[in-house]
Amino acid sequence: MNQNVPIKNVHHVAFRCRDAEQTRWFYEDILGLKLAAAMSFDHLSGTDKKIEYMHIFFEMQDGNYIAFFDDPHNAPGDFFKDMNGFDSHVAVEVESMEDLKAVESNLNSIEWGSFIIDHEFVTSLYIFDPNGIQLEFTCRASDHDEIMEEDAAKAHQEIKKWTEKTREMKVQKFGEEALSPK
């Protein structure tokens, strides 16, 4: 087994956006994130390939970022439909239920659809941003750490049971080789 890699945190997650200005409006004006950078390029970084695009970053309170690429020349026209949350979503944390309600209020002020689910360990408000990306705003329950600790104690066992339950169906669907550790 390899030694643990000292991964400190997530610096940024990045997605394609339909329009840098529309995305800026939503993340800066509506959600209140700081626009930290807007970088224009005329070639693909690290290559000689000519491509014009913009890379924008929004900073969260902890210093981490959510970033977007505005690449209108290569964006498929039907790309920006709402994504299934199981395929891709970003969960960001707020400090309190009052903060979660403030996010909901900001969204309601522009008639932006949202819904809240109590997951027991967190309460989450879900939306889709202008690019079809599902965002989840979470607030930890008072017993969040205890719940996560209890689940951590049995996590490997639960994955083993799940693998036994679903392996045959996955082999038929994806093939044995696709499921092998590489």
Please give the Cα distance from 20 to 147 (Å, whole number).
39
pTM as predicted:
0.85
What value does the mean pLDDT of the chain take?
92
pLDDT of residue 111: 95
- For residue 117, CA distances in Å to 84, 88, 91 come to 16, 18, 13
- For residue 122, CA distances in Å to 100, 116, 147, 173 come to 11, 11, 10, 33
The hierarchical CATH code for the domain 81-142 is 3.10.180.10
The yes/no answer on whether domain 1-73 falls in CATH 3.10.180.10 is: yes
1-73 and 81-142 share one fold: yes
**Is residue 96 a contact partner of residue 117, using CB atoms and an 8 Å limit?**
no
Domain ranges of the chain: 1-73, 81-142, 155-179
Please give the Cα distance from 15 to 77 (Å, whole number).
15
pLDDT of residue 2: 64
pLDDT of residue 89: 92
pLDDT of residue 156: 95
List pLDDT tens digits, range 118-158.
999 999 999 999 999 999 999 999 999 999 999 999 999 99
pLDDT beneath 50, residues of the chain? none
pLDDT of residue 152: 96
